Structure 1
Amino acid sequence: MTTYNPNRRQFIQGAGAVLALATLQTKGVTLTGVTGALRVGLIGAGWYGKSDLFRLIQVSDVDVVAVCDVDRNHLEEVGKLISERQASRKVPALYEDYRKMLADHRLDLVLIGTPDHWHARQAIDAMTSGAHVYLQKPVSVDVLEGEAILSTARQYNRKVQVGTQRRSTPHLIDAKEHVIDKGLLGKISHVELCCYYHMRKNGNPPLEPVPDFLDYEMWTGPAPLRPYDGLPHGSWWRTFMEYGNGITGDMCVHMFDTVRWLLQLGWPKQISATGGIYVQKEGKSNIADTQTAIFEYDELNCIWQHRTWGNPTDPEYPWAFIIYGDKGMLKGSTMKYEFIPTGKGDRMVKDVVYEKEQYPADLDEPRIELNAAPATRRHMLDLLSAIERDHLPVADIEEGHISTASCILANLSMQLNRPLRYDPQKRVCIDDPEATALLRRPYRKPWQHPFKS
């Protein structure tokens, strides 16, 4: 069980006030007077790490005591920005090695916004140090890393909220309540998922010396050490399978997780996929530019398609899901949803909710995803409630693991050119020892894979 320090008890009382005020805020009331200070650390102070932290600061009186990043420029920038945002105005302690940060501070909550290849190791180390975790998706780069995170969370009773914030997106919550839960779709037997963004970073930058402000060895950590060819920040690292799981692991995980939440789906019975680099062959990128995957359930298939070239099938829904029932269809994205009945009936449309008036600072934040900010704030509030009331958060680590691992298995199916059936109890691919061996990636020494067989 979690051991609470005095600050944690103050936080629990304060979090209750935050949650009560959050309801009022939807009616135009600003969050004020929240007491208590949750001791927070951030690992990974790049774009989305900062964004997640700033959303937390907006909804809770937290004390950001420490931040870690292997890029000293990131550290200097984020230290200043945090001091401008948190009530105490203090600059947090700055670290380049997350292990020292965890050793030096008794943190209540750690936010992890590092590249995917670091998620499992850092989440587990944060939990064993005593902290709850907000973990960006995908939770892992191999299936057994995800199993290890889940086991650790349950062993130490840590709450882990995964950054699949569609589960906290206002217009999608509305779709669940007013379309799915009311049975307006009838019998559901087909789902389409897609992403047609041209987001596959490609190119052939030359090798160059590692800049003195970046610890590239630590950035790489347990992953293979690629020759340095420029800052890996932003989208460059995502174009390599060494550090993630391609477009499927980055974008399908969101939409597949959303559909699983809407329809209350667990593990797929079987996963198959095809694809590869069909068009964009000129650069260093080794992630697929084209992929189709099928996640099979009883009398229901969820079919994923991505292309990082060409035009989207529907320009209004370039990254989306479509759920088909015999009474209608539900189209959803981060921007809106539409319910279109079969035959007679009322069409329903609801757009994304922005909170620009309640949070005017959003408008001045570089690179903020304004459409996602309200969802992330609700995601943070849900995590605070989970910690206070000892319930699982809406995007609990088990749900994040299922969605992540399913996407990883799709990549493995594409690699092996055959369907895969995963047994989460035995943690094997059924009747497929070759695929089972691929459930665990080798770690670069001296880093140790967290899964213990």
Structure 2
Amino acid sequence: MLRRSFLASTAASLAYDLSAQTFDVQKKRRVGLIGSGWYGKSDILRLVQIAPVEIVSLCDVDTVMLDKAADLVASRQASKKRPRLFTDYQKMLAEKDLDLVEIATPDHWHSLAMIDCARAGLDLYVQKPISVDVIEGESMLAAARKYNRTVQIGTQRRSTPHLIEAKNRYIDEGKLGKIGLVEIYCYYHMRATQNPPDSTPPANLDYERWTGPAPMRPYNSLVHPRTWRAFNEYGNGIMGDMCVHMLDMVRWMMNLGWPQSVSSTGGILIDQASKANIPDTQEASFDFGNVKVIWTHRSWGAPPDPKYPWGATFYGDKATLKAGVQGYDYIPLAKGESPVHKDVTYEFEQYPEDRTEADLERHVAPAIRGHMRDLLAAIDNRSRPVADIEQGHISTASCILANMAMKLGRTLRYDSQTRTVLNDNEATAMLRRPYRAPYIHPEPDKV
């Protein structure tokens, strides 16, 4: 047993060594993007930096956004060619000339687009969270496996250099001792506070297609671009947006699977004047048996530690580890052992475009590149990437279950084998959101 543990630990260390990622650097890959907004562009431009890809097609239901994205891509890729433009991703797929597609639409469109791409034989990069309900995620996982597709999810904490170091150096080596509690949190004032009147959609936006399978709301300027996360109709609020990253990071660092149970409380406690209908305050408990992971978000007030407004604190009986997107702090309990601080890694010398690119989260750029390298290596090896869709599904579904638990006011226990909430028919029915006609909700056995 000790030998198996050693081999598994060694393999894990190698798996999370970014320098060990190898892919065919000469291979030309044709890439398409569905959703040409903020993070879609950030992702594919990092891909252009590390591999000889050709971005050949862009798809978006906003023609102005689409046109600007095409200009940007043409200025950055080696060929200087302007991608072809589509407002219907099905027409883009019908060209049958792509190898890899990124899906960076609002969350409510992830599932249908991903399954269609998998059926078309394409490998994928899908932004997180993977789905807006649990059965969507189960269906996406089933499609990836049925069509043998490599699918990387945009939970790029798994490819963040300083977090890989913290995992390898402190958690894997047991320097924290026994970890019984991990607190994860977000205190960003990120919830929309405006209350604009409903209005007519702009001429450049196909709002009917943008809404897709989601409920049809009157158009509001908060919806597009980017602020759609203010509405439960299109996502899962701050829980689905920010908790999914930190919960996934903790699961990866500690090799955790599904939580045994999920509970949550919260609501709109402070900002009741905004048009937003997502909670401004929420706590959730993810019970992994010997480890409890507790989430808190507040989109108001001050963070307990200003250095860590979004992150995770691992409490061990030998040391504490604070980890976030800007760095980590190792805080030993033993006298004589010094604490260690590490800042985020930037790569401005190798990639000077990072300094000037509009809207780029510069501290995240190295992690996106690492995530893309890992994806390309997995594609070449026909293996599973570090943020394989199954891992993305577990993290996403756990956050969705937390929102369900808050709404129902009780603890939920999800069984991924039966795809039911144990002893709770009402919660099981909530695993599928109603789809707006004529869209049909995907099912794992029918992909």
State the TM-score bracket (shorter-chain normalisation).
over 0.9
Query: Are residues 1:256 and 2:256 paired?
Result: no
Query: Are residues 1:186 and 2:177 paired?
Result: yes
Q: Identify the residue that residue 417 of structure 2 maps to in structure 1.
A: 425
Query: Are residues 1:77 and 2:68 paired?
Result: yes
* Aligned pairs for 1:231-270 within 5 A: 232-270=223-261
1:437 to 414, 429, 440: 429
**Shift of the alpha carbon at 1:24?**
10
2:242 and 2:340 map into 1 onto residues whose CA distance is 26
2:291 and 2:40 map into 1 onto residues whose CA distance is 36
Query: Are residues 1:99 and 2:105 paired?
Result: no
Runs of 5+ in structure 2 lacking a partner? 1-17
2:83 and 2:175 map into 1 onto residues whose CA distance is 50
CA contact under 8 A between 1:107 and 1:130: conserved in structure 2?
Answer: no
Q: Identify the residue that residue 340 of structure 2 maps to in structure 1.
A: 348
**Shift of the alpha carbon at 1:102?**
0.8
**Shift of the alpha carbon at 1:37?**
1.3
CA contact under 8 A between 2:29 and 2:52: conserved in structure 1?
Answer: yes
1:397 and 1:36 map into 2 onto residues whose CA distance is 24
1:110 to 81, 98, 101: 101
Q: Identify the residue that residue 6 of structure 1 maps to in structure 2.
A: none
Query: Are residues 1:413 and 2:393 paired?
Result: no
1:243 and 1:342 map into 2 onto residues whose CA distance is 44
Question: What's the secondary structure of 1:66's corresponding residue?
Answer: strand
Q: Identify the residue that residue 13 of structure 1 maps to in structure 2.
A: none
Q: Identify the residue that residue 220 of structure 2 maps to in structure 1.
A: 229
* Aligned pairs for 1:51-450 within 5 A: 51-230=42-221, 232-344=223-335, 345-450=337-442
1:245 and 1:360 map into 2 onto residues whose CA distance is 35
2:117 and 2:25 map into 1 onto residues whose CA distance is 26
What's the Cα RMSD here? 1.5
**Shift of the alpha carbon at 1:209?**
1.6
2:417 and 2:38 map into 1 onto residues whose CA distance is 36
1:329 and 1:229 map into 2 onto residues whose CA distance is 45
**Shift of the alpha carbon at 1:451?**
1.5
**Shift of the alpha carbon at 1:270?**
0.5
CA contact under 8 A between 2:187 and 2:309: conserved in structure 1?
Answer: yes
Q: Identify the residue that residue 13 of structure 2 maps to in structure 1.
A: none
Deviations 1:138-161 (A, max 9, x none): 000000000000000011110110
CA contact under 8 A between 1:106 and 1:129: conserved in structure 2?
Answer: no
Range 87-96 or range 424-433, more displaced: 87-96
Deviations 1:127-186 (A, max 9, x none): 111111100000000000000000000111101100000000000000011101110011
Range 330-339 or range 96-105, more displaced: 96-105
Q: Identify the residue that residue 10 of structure 1 maps to in structure 2.
A: none
Tell me the TM-score normalized by structure 1: 0.92
Runs of 5+ in structure 1 lacking a partner? 1-21, 26-30
1:378 and 1:61 map into 2 onto residues whose CA distance is 15
> Deviation above 3 Å: which 4+ runs of structure 1?
22-25
**Shift of the alpha carbon at 1:65?**
1.1
**Shift of the alpha carbon at 1:298?**
1.5
Deviations 1:401-423 (A, max 9, x none): 00000000000000000000000
**Shift of the alpha carbon at 1:231?**
5.9
**Shift of the alpha carbon at 1:51?**
0.5
